[in-house]
Structure 1
Amino acid sequence: MRATTVGLCLLLWAAAVAQGEGSDAVAAPAKLGTEVMGRVVGYGEVREEWRGEVIQLSWAPRAYLLKGFLTEEECDHLIALGSPKLTKSTVVDNESGKSIPSQVRTSKGTFLNTAQDEVVDRIEHRVAQVTMIPVEHQEGMQILKYVNGEKYEPHFDYFHDVVNQKPESGGQRIMTMLMYLSTVPEGGETVFPNAVKSEHVEGPEWSDCAKRGLAVKAKKGDAIMFYGLKPDGSEDQTSLHGSCPTTKGEKWSATKWIHVLPFNRNNLYQRAKWGDCVDTEDQCEEWASTGECEKNSAYMKVHCRRACSLCEPAKENVATT
């Protein structure tokens, strides 16, 4: 395993972007009311930064351990929010895309609302900062509890059905942030069975389930970040993972699934009147009102067609006489 830091990764990435300064890439307009100084190199905002230890677990899957990603107080707060609302966990049906009960997953869980309170909002933006993917691409936070041998058999987080991959639902899941809210004394490891054999764990401190692959012990405050898709966008079969039976104590976790597109933004895909001619950015109308349709036409005619009056009503919705 190799330790690195988020700060170093960001610096290397920024340097790589800076080399393309002479490219013809078209940039989105800056958000109104925001003064942009220098060159924009990626997602970011003025907030407290997380600067912790990041350990590379594997390249296949691309997985990283983030030590102390959450504070003890944050862990306790998330448990307190989720505890009263726990119900039997479900899985996504590969054909219909609907949530169904299954013995594959025997935990209990619940979802929190996005930005439900100040603590949840802070954590969601921390996830966005570390992954460099905007917070709008995240699903609501799922709180899970495992006890008395409860488990989740190995599975993929990316979708197999076409329903959940639609653009208005955020498209495919690209990565997962799994945060541990408690330390599990026995069992409860996260295991990746399809990782290369040389990375499989061994020793008496691991459960038999964990020894089937690369594994991580659940430690309060730590998190693992892994990709379900390869850099070319194809599905990564090595991202298969599961939660080993929790045989002693309780395992609490918080999961953030992150999509390739903003998640569940149906307001951007209101085709009832305009067919496929829609605005794909929240700020399109603001930008259009300040003349961006003319000043930044290359970008706007692709992403803000409706705001720039480049649309005609869908034929099936035009009244005939």
Structure 2
Amino acid sequence: MAGGKNKGRGKSSSVTPKKSNKTMAVGSKAAKDGQSSSSISYLVPILVVIGAILYKSQYGSSDEIAQSLNTTDPTAGHRKMKVPVGWQDGFYTIEDVVTVPSTHATLYPNGGNGPGETITIESDKDFLDLGRVYNDMGQIVQSRTHFKNGASLYLGPTRAGTHFQWPAVALGHRRPVSGVYGGDGKQVELETLTEPTENAASSEPRVFYVHNFLSAAEADEFVKFSTAPENPYKMAPSTGGTHKAWNQGGDGAVLTTRTSENAFDITTKQSFDVKKRAFRLLRMNGYQENMADGIQILRYKVGQAYVAHHDYFPTHQSKDFNWDPLSGGSNRFATIFLYLSDVSYGGQTVFPNCEKLSAEKSPELVERLGESPSASELKEFVSNAGLMEGSWEDNLIHKCYEKFAVPPRRGDAILFYSQRPDGLLDTNSLHGACPILNGTKWGANLWVWNACRYSQCSEDPMLPSEELTPALKAPFPGGS
């Protein structure tokens, strides 16, 4: 696969703390010898006030913490940052991993693209000056006792409309996602499938396999609701058209390059629960309905497929909305594609701009993702599926076995980003739905935007990122 591992030998730098020009009096001699007990009683309210000030300095706002921790004392890192109101369980580190505050780490940009930089962190103020930083587990690191010396840290988003992106770490790297569980209570796990790099033109897309995202019961319920009479957007031939949504009078033209059927779930409690789960997986704190499309449920029968495409809209899609995240606009940020059934043959999600995974790189992944059939077997599959030789479906199916592709497995999902960490739309996120060669494939699209989606902004549609809530609007101060 194109691109190397994210981690390499880092550059070295030192974060030098500024000299403190502020001191805090924390006590004084209470009284001279012979002072009366009545005089001492006057000190009680003063001591209470001093105690309140000290408490606030340790547990107050980020700015207050930064001021109170303006010290070069390397043992001061035991002080913990206050957990902001509304933070979700699992979003942040909560336990010490060392007793003596750490003093150096390797710092990577958001998403881990590019080489790391070795930094020295001599004080808590130095740590806070980094802004929000994450660990490999996608958790916000709260203090210097929450990581070991030499650990990898990742900068958070620095501009409104950009968000945290999971670092690849290494091909095949698998980690539990703290605070995120499927409908059956199993912890969701994230597995790295590609190796994105800092070069936008040649980088692989950022793709992860998501284990245990749905329970079997949840998968079955989506399938059932897609054809239910009470669903106003029940199963029908898949359509193409404009950026307008299913409930906004969008173009209903049936696509010749998408031969599946689709439905939408925009009303059930389960659909909202699953979308909230998606926000937690993406580490986007504070679910917002206007940042997510309705869940699109898909049915592919034998021979049906969807040509390679992007999930994001072109920046020139329409003049009544800013579609460019680089200039404060909004577009589809990430896709979580849910697999609602198993498929015997075909039905993979293929990324034609990404080279096929080799056994030399990851034999375990190759074995699990499946070996390619022989040329004669593939020809027989195509014939049995009723696909015409030379058709777009025939051309696509060859890509499905020549390029990087992920087979469906019920209850799991894949996560891929349509934007790079800086907000640039990622052309290499091009993907398609491979033709079904046997059986029926059920799946669902869950799209999350980087800000309010088209027609759902309450203020200026040219500046969607300005409407983000404080919990979702970068930049963030250190320790919050």
Q: TM-score, normalised by structure 2?
A: 0.46
337, 340, 344: which one pairs with 1:178? 337
Is 1:154 aligned with 2:308? yes
Matched position secondary structure for 1:78: helix
Compute the displacement of 1:213 (Å): 1.2
Partner SS state of residue 163, structure 1: coil
Are positions 1:135 and 2:287 aligned together? yes
Report how far residue 180 of structure 1 moved. Answer: 0.3
Q: Which residue of 1 aligns with 2:192?
A: 56
Q: Is the 8 A contact 1:168 1:265 kept in 2?
A: no
User: Amino acid of the residue matched to residue 283 of structure 2?
Assistant: M
Q: Secondary structure at the match of 2:227?
A: helix
- TM-score w.r.t. structure 1 length? 0.66
- In the TM superposition, what are the counterparts of 1:267-278 in structure 2 within 5 Å? 268-269=458-459
1:231 aligns to what? 421
Query: 1:192 is matched with which residue?
Result: 351
Q: Is the 8 A contact 1:159 1:165 kept in 2?
A: no
Separation in 2, partners of 1:112, 1:165: 27
Q: How many residues align?
A: 254
User: Contact between 2:348 and 2:433, CA under 8 Å: does it hold in 1?
Assistant: yes
SS in 2 for 1:143: strand
Deviations 1:134-189 (A, max 9, x none): 53221111001000211001111111243299259972111110000000111111
In 2: Cα distance, 1:233 partner to 1:20 partner: 26
**Residues of 1 paired with 2:371 and 2:207: CA distance?**
19
What's the offset of the Cα at 1:83? Answer: 2.1
Q: 2:296 matched to 1:125?
A: no
Q: Secondary structure at the match of 1:127?
A: helix
- Is 1:249 the equivalent of 2:403? no
Please report how far the alpha carbon of residue 132 of structure 1 lies from its aligned counterpart in structure 2 after TM superposition: 1.7
Find 1:75's aligned residue among 206, 213, 219: 219
Aligned mates of 1:146, 1:22 — CA distance in 2: 51
* Alpha-carbon shift at residue 73 of structure 1 (Å): 0.2
CA 270–156 in structure 1, closer or farther in 2 if over 3 Å, else same: closer
One of 83, 94, 105 as aligned partner of 2:258: 105
Deviation at 1:72, TM superposition (A): 0.1
Provide the aligned C-alpha RMSD in A. 4.1
Percent of aligned pairs with the same residue?
28
Contact 1:76 1:181 in 2 (8 A): yes
Larger relative helix fraction: 1
- Does the 8 A contact of 2:451 with 2:468 survive in 1? no
User: What displacement does 1:120 show?
Assistant: 1.8
Segments of structure 2 that go 5 or more residues without pairing to the other structure are 6-88, 94-104, 111-123, 133-141, 144-155, 158-162, 164-177, 182-186, 196-203, 229-233, 244-249, 359-365, 379-396, 471-475
Deviation at 1:212, TM superposition (A): 3.0
Q: CA deviation at 1:217?
A: 0.7
Does the alignment pair 1:145 with 2:299? yes
Q: Is the 8 A contact 1:61 1:238 kept in 2?
A: yes
Shift of 1:100: 3.4
Residue 88 of structure 1 pairs with residue 241 of structure 2: no
Say if 1:256 and 1:10 are closer, same or farther in 2 by CA, change over 3 A: farther
Task: Give unmatched runs, 5+ long, in structure 1.
Answer: 26-37, 284-298, 300-321
Is 2:401 the counterpart of 1:211?
Answer: yes
Indicate conservation of the 8 Å contact 1:168/1:263, yes or no.
Answer: no
Displacement of 1:257: 1.0
Counterpart CA distance in 2 for 1:228 and 1:54 is: 18
Q: Structure 1's 58 and 270: CA in aligned 2 closer, same or farther, altered over 3 A?
A: closer
* Secondary structure of 2:458's aligned partner: helix
Distance between the aligned counterparts of 1:189 and 1:165, measured in 2?
36
* 8 Å Cα contact 1:165/1:172 also seen in 2: no
Higher-Rg structure is: 2
2:120 maps to none
State the partner residue of 1:35: none
Deviations 1:281-319 (A, max 9, x none): 679xxxxxxxxxxxxxxx9xxxxxxxxxxxxxxxxxxxx
Q: How many Å apart are 1:110 and its aligned residue?
A: 1.4
Work out whether residues 149 and 245 of structure 1, in 8 Å CA contact, stay in contact via their aligned partners in 2: yes
